């Protein structure tokens, strides 16, 4: 028996190491939703007729005349823990390539033109690298792509992967556009030294926190919500810890009192104890920095213990996963809100977004979500920069990206502009609230609002 | 609130216990460390999810099917993987099952993708029983009752049936058991199958409140190893008590010391117990 104990201790150490390794790579997670039947004809099919092919195949076509293709690279997690998300992001990028390389019946120059006008109609050739949901491999894959004469690199979804790719891009002095990574450290100008080549489209968690508090102030002013006390439940990793820091840092500035900060491990099997601590603090509003699995467990626990705060504000992560809409609807709750860069309900108000969404939906069966729209934007931005620079030289693209504002009719904010650290200073996301299982735009108060917020009183 | 936390811990502990009972059968009785135990649980969850999504079968009702499927997986594993390395050193069997765990996990990812899957709108979902100031989640209660019942059934099977006694005899001395006419090969296959059936049943009880992804069961697997060691290798009642202990310590530790420490406390307890009582708290 004693030898068994020793074996047991060794075994546990091995298992614990495996567990740490597994949780370390965990990033924004997605849940599968039932894929609806594909829509009728895709916009691409409508414009290009029966011979329309896959966008990836389109990239292989040689442009007319002597013009050479312009090569871009993209590192994405196409296998491993975040493979499904990576596959969807790849489709979003391919949609962008299709819009750029082929003429589409859409009132937007990028889509109307065939190829890059400033480069005599040169087409984009997009090369993909699979980081296998691993930051080390992301670095290797980026290096492989950078050896293939690419003029820019995109990706790589999780902040850790993006940082690894950006470090390689700096070595080669090639511009990088990161669509969806949210860690503020990527563009704080202090943590990393790749600011000269790095550009990030997504709002970071600092920007998101400020918008959340503005929203709560709005609820107090217009709906007399009486929100004073706030608490946060956050996953104990880089994403959650930074969200918690922002949450606590800005609460007093916006007039709110922090009553609880509950951290939990990425591998939790149940969230009841964590939920109990939140409930015990009795906040008016709960912030959640959680992935889909954890957020679902919290939602079930809150509901089971009959706890209904005035609002639950979610930092990207699990809330953006379309399957959470089904969870919230199943629980019969309408108090979940969070940041989004995309919402299907905006289709009628944004024709370019609608067109892109339909192209994406034809290939995936899903509405385009925030991260996918941001990765789509990364490819579009490269081309916009080349159009402005009139060149496909990496140095010219870097200059163009830093010194211009770019038209983005697929985002509610309508444009993208980077600061000196590469952060998009235009808020790419807005606040949506899950009302009867549908993401409704509730803030900021502009023409894109689709519903009044519901405050749980 | 503390009482509520303790109740939650007890409920969670029962589920941990059932997962550990399966492991204690193979580890304690057969002296084989099944590294793929967590993946058996994972496949049990996917079986329950599949039956729910395809036939709208509530996991509670599909429990026998999940248990039977993982029983078959267990028997298959024994004949295809374990039997071939039975005479080799313990490390060989360990590595073989480790390899199997990788195969099963990656196969799950290939078939079901890495996306989370939820079993919703089950019989007991989001319902609670209120007792004074306490809430008891019905899905947890169902899992706890189911877990206790199944553990007692396994215990009865091992102690009261001819096959169960043969399993015990084989665990004590394989050669003597063979001399007594026991087909130890068959007994090992049944034990592996029974271990699978336990986690298959546990999986069906857990899916109403556990989102499923290929990495879902890693922590359950680690905790099962702790519980088996604490409960005493091969001791089914020990696994039940140790499961409850781990559930309560996890809940209370998280409540008092912070939820980010709740698993660290369990492993600390394990290390202390192993130093003081290497046979486990309930071992002999």
Helical segments of A189-291, H only: 205-223, 238-250, 272-281
Candidate CATH numbers 2.40.50.140, 3.40.50.2300, 3.30.110.40, 3.30.70.980; the one for domain A206-340+431-443: 3.40.50.2300
Closest CA to B211 of A438, A266, A83, A270: A270
Give the strand order in the sheet containing A176-178.
Answer: A124-130, A70-76, A153-155, A176-178, A198-200
Task: Determine the Cα–Cα distance for residues A88 and A85; give it in Å rounded to an integer.
Answer: 5
User: Collapsing DSSP states into helix, strand and coil, what is residue B221?
Assistant: helix
Q: What is the pLDDT of residue A409?
A: 93
A269 neighbors B219 (Cβ within 8 angstroms): yes
| A:B CB pairs within 8 Å | 162
Confidence of residue B183 (pLDDT cuts 50, 70, 90): very high
> CA of A444: how far to CAs of A341, A452, A453, B213, in Å?
12, 11, 11, 35
* Secondary structure letter of residue B28 according to DSSP: I
B113-123 residue pLDDT tens:
777 788 888 88
Say if residue A156 is preceded by a cis peptide, omega within 30 of 0: yes
Q: What is the pLDDT of residue A111?
A: 93
- pLDDT exceeds 50 at position B128: yes
Kindly list the residues from chain B whose CB atom is less than 8 angstroms away from the CB atom of residue A293.
116, 211, 213, 216
B33-59 residue pLDDT tens:
888 999 999 999 999 999 999 999 999
Closest residue on chain B to A295 (Cα): B211
Q: Domain ranges in chain A?
A: 44-203+346-426, 206-340+431-443
Q: Which of B215, B258, B278 shows the shortest C-beta gap to A5?
A: B278
**Of A55 and B149, more confident:** B149
Q: Give pLDDT tens digits along chain A (457 positions).
A: 445 555 555 555 555 555 544 443 333 333 333 333 333 334 434 333 333 334 334 444 444 456 789 999 999 988 776 777 788 899 999 999 999 999 999 989 999 989 999 999 999 999 999 998 888 999 999 999 999 999 999 988 888 899 999 999 999 999 999 998 888 889 988 889 999 999 999 988 888 999 999 999 999 999 999 999 999 999 887 778 889 999 999 999 999 999 999 998 877 888 888 898 899 899 999 999 988 888 989 998 898 888 999 999 998 778 887 778 888 888 889 999 998 888 888 888 889 999 999 999 999 888 888 889 999 999 999 999 999 999 999 999 999 999 999 999 999 888 999 999 999 998 777 899 999 989 999 988 777 888 999 998 7
Closest CA to A301 of B172, B171, B12: B12
Q: Domain ranges in chain B?
A: 2-215
Question: What value does the mean pLDDT take over residues B229-253?
Answer: 90
List, as own/partner pairs, every contact residues B270-279 make where C-beta atoms lie below 8 angstroms and the sequence separation is at least 24, other chains included: B270/A12, B270/B226, B270/B229, B270/B230, B271/A9, B273/B229, B273/B230, B274/A5, B274/A8, B274/A9, B274/B229, B278/A1, B278/A2, B278/A5, B279/A1, B279/A2, B279/A5, B279/B232, B279/B233
* A206-340+431-443 and A44-203+346-426 share a CATH fold: yes
| Residue with token string 């939602």 | A299
The fold for domain A44-203+346-426 equals Rossmann fold (3.40.50)
Q: Which of B126, B128, B225 shows the shortest C-beta gap to A8?
A: B225
| Cβ–Cβ gap B219/A277 under 8 Å | no
Task: Determine the Cα–Cα distance for residues A211 and A217; give it in Å rounded to an integer.
Answer: 10
- Please give the ipTM for the structure prediction: 0.75
Task: Determine the Cα–Cα distance for residues B61 and B66; give it in Å rounded to an integer.
Answer: 10
Q: What is the pLDDT of residue A48?
A: 37
Task: Give A29→chain B minimum CA distance, Å.
Answer: 7
Q: Which two tokens stand for residue A235?
A: 């996953």
Question: What value does the mean pLDDT take over residues B1-6?
Answer: 80
Closest CA to A373 of A96, A162, A58, A54: A96
Say if residue A444 is preceded by a cis peptide, omega within 30 of 0: yes
| Cβ–Cβ gap B267/A16 under 8 Å | yes
Q: Which distant-in-sequence residues (6+ apart) come within 8 Å of A292 by Cβ?
A: A29, A30, A31, A317, A318, A321, A323, A324, B116, B211
Kindly list the residues from chain A whose CB atom is less than 8 angstroms away from the CB atom of residue B12.
269-270, 272
Q: What is the pLDDT of residue A322?
A: 76
């Amino acid at each position: 028996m004693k030898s068994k104990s020793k074996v047991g201790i060794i075994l546990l150490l091995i298992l614990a190491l495996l567990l740490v390794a597994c949780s370390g790579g965990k990033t924004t997670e997605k849940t599968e939703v039932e894929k609806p039947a594909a829509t009728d004809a895709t916009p691409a099919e409508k414009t290009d007729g029966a011979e329309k092919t896959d966008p990836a195949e389109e990239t292989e076509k040689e442009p007319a005349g002597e013009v050479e293709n312009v090569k871009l690279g993209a590192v994405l997690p196409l296998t491993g823990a975040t493979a499904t998300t990576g596959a969807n992001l790849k489709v979003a990028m391919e949609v962008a390539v299709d819009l750029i390389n082929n003429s589409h019946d859409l009132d937007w120059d990028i889509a109307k033109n065939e190829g890059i006008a400033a480069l005599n109609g040169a087409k984009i050739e997009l090369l993909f690298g699979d980081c296998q949901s691993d930051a080390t491999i992301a670095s290797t894959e980026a290096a492989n792509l950078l050896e293939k004469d690419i003029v820019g690199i995109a990706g790589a979804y999780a902040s850790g992967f993006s940082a690894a790719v950006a470090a390689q891009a700096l070595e080669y002095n090639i511009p990088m556009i990161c669509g969806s990574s949210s860690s503020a450290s990527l563009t704080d100008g202090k943590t990393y030294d790749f600011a000269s080549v790095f550009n990030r489209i997504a709002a970071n968690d600092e920007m998101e926190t400020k918008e959340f508090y503005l929203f709560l102030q709005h609820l107090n002013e217009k709906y007399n919500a009486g929100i004073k006390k706030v608490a946060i439940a956050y996953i104990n990793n880089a994403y959650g810890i930074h969200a918690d820091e922002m949450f606590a840092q800005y609460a007093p500035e916006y007039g709110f009192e922090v009553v609880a900060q509950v951290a939990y491990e990425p591998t939790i099997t149940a969230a009841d104890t964590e939920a109990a601590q939140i409930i015990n603090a009795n906040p008016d509003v709960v912030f959640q920095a959680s992935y889909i699995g954890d957020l679902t467990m919290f939602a079930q626990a809150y509901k089971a213990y009959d706890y209904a705060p005035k609002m639950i504000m979610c930092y990207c992560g699990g809330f953006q996963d379309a399957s959470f809409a089904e969870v919230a609807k199943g629980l019969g709750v309408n108090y979940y809100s969070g940041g989004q860069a995309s919402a299907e309900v905006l289709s009628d108000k944004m024709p370019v977004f609608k067109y892109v969404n339909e192209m994406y939906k034809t290939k995936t069966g899903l509405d385009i979500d925030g991260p996918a729209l941001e990765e789509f934007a990364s490819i579009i931005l490269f081309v916009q920069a080349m159009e402005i620079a009139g060149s496909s030289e990496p140095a010219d693209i870097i200059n163009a990206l830093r010194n211009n504002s770019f038209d983005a009719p697929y985002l509610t904010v309508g444009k993208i502009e980077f600061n000196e650290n590469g952060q998009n200073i235009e808020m790419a996301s807005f606040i949506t609230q899950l009302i009867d299982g549908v993401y409704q735009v509730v803030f900021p108060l502009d023409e894109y609002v689709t519903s009044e917020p519901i405050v749980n009183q | 609130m503390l009482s509520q936390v303790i109740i939650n811990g007890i409920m969670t502990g029962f589920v941990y216990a059932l997962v550990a009972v399966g492991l204690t059968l193979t580890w304690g009785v057969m002296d084989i460390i099944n590294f793929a135990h967590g993946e058996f649980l994972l496949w049990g969850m996917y079986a329950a999810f599949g039956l729910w999504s395809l036939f709208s079968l509530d996991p509670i009702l599909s429990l026998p099917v999940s248990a039977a499927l993982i029983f078959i997986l267990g028997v298959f594993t024994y004949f295809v993987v374990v039997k071939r390395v039975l005479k080799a050193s313990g490390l060989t069997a360990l590595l073989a099952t480790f390899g199997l765990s990788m195969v099963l996990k990656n196969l799950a990812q290939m078939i079901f993708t890495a996306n989370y899957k939820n079993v919703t709108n089950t019989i007991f979902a989001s319902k609670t029983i209120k007792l004074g100031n306490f809430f008891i989640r019905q899905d947890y209660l169902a899992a706890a009752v189911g877990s206790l019942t199944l553990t007692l059934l396994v215990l009865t099977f091992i102690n009261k049936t001819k096959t169960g006694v043969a399993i015990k005899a084989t665990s004590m001395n394989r050669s003597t058991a063979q001399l007594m006419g026991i087909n130890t090969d068959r007994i090992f296959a049944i034990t592996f199958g029974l271990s699978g059936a336990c986690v298959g049943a546990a999986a069906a009880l857990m899916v109403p409140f556990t989102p499923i992804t290929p990495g879902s069961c890693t922590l359950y697997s680690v905790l099962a190893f702790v519980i088996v060691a604490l409960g005493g290798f091969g001791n089914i009642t020990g696994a039940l008590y140790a499961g409850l202990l781990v559930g309560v310590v996890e809940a209370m530790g998280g409540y008092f010391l912070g939820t980010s420490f709740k698993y660290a406390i369990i492993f600390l307890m394990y290390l202390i117990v192993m130093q003081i009582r290497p046979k486990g708290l309930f071992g002999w």
